[in-house]
Amino acid sequence: MSKLSELAKIVEEGKVAEVEAATKAALDEGNEALTVLNEGLVEPINVLGEKFRLGEIYVPELLIASKGMKKGVEIVKPLLVSGDMESQGKVIMVTVAGDMHDIGKNLVALLMESAGFEVIDLGMDIEPDEIVEAVQDNADCKVVGMSAMLTTTMYAMQDTIEALEEAGLRDKVKVMIGGAPVNQKFADQIGADGYSTNAPLAVELAKKLAHE
């Protein structure tokens, strides 16, 4: 087996501690940095991502493997030509104002990273104007993802959309929402661009919105 294939296998199997050495070995074998990135690091994560979407593997298998991928990327990145690293796009993720529940948002953020998004996670209890500021500071941001767990905080999503409109930024980003009390009817009511019921669907939605 070539060192490149070995690397892909190690990443897919989640053997995080072995990734650094395997990445160096794949480079030493004579493979281009971009090839090592795409075939040795990104491709196994894509395979796992698809298996996870189909319910064939557990989320920790994907997330632990992603940790391994990131270790390999740190080694390969300095060797790449600028523009080589393809990203799905930049996404800002938040739990809205007044809400301290973030496990759902964290899970979606992790899966988005595994899927190739650059994620800016602002955290929890984030006011509308902080979100507007983050969108202003990240002109290349394509999607804003908002999460809420409570009926008493979900209306902050509406406030945020209104704040983006007032700042003249509403047509610069797509807004997607999620969380237990939220539903499609609410998403339509507040003018969100999308709503998803679970984390894998959120990633698919983000991909769709980012390329619209």
Partner 1 sequence: MDRSMFNNVQKCGSPLRFLTEDEMEEVHTKSLEILQEVGSVVDHKEAREMLAKAGCSVKGKKVYFPHGLIEWATREAPSHIHVYDRDGDLAMDLGGRNCYFGNGSDCPTILDVETGEHRQFTLKDMEDCAKITDALPQLDFLMCCGIMYDYPVTSYEHQYAAMLRNSTKPQVVTATNRESIKNITKMAVAVRGSLEELAKKPLFVMYNEPISPLFHGVEAVDKIMYCAENMLPTNYSPCMMPGATGPMTNAGALIQGNCECLVGLTISQLTHPGAPMVFGGSMYNMDLKCMQPTYCSPEAIVNNIALAQMAREKYKVPSWGFTGCSGGKVFDAQAMNEAAQYIYSIGFSGTNVNHDVGFMNYGLTYSEELLVACNETISQMRRVFDGVVFDKEHEAMEVIKRVGPKGHYLSEEHTLYYNNTEVWQPDLTDRADLDGWKAAGSTTFEQRVKARTLDIINNYVPKQLTKEQDDAVEAILKDADAAAESQEKKR
Q: Where along the sequence are the contacts to partner 1 (CB under 8 A)? A: 52, 55, 57-60, 100-101, 103, 107, 150-152, 154-155, 180-181, 183, 185, 198-199
Give the CB-side neighbour count of residue 73, counting CA atoms within 13 A: 17
Per the CB < 8 A criterion, the answer to whether 19 and 72 are in contact is yes
- Residue 29 is which amino acid? E
- CB atoms inside a 10 Å sphere around CB 102: 18
* Smallest gap from residue 82 Cβ to partner 1 (A): 36
* Smallest gap from residue 51 Cβ to partner 1 (A): 10
* Smallest gap from residue 57 Cβ to partner 1 (A): 8
Q: Name 177's bridge partners.
A: 146, 195
Question: What are the DSSP E strand ranges found in the chain?
Answer: 89-96, 117-126, 141-147, 174-178, 194-195
Nearer to partner 1, 85 or 107 (CB): 107
* Smallest gap from residue 31 Cβ to partner 1 (A): 34
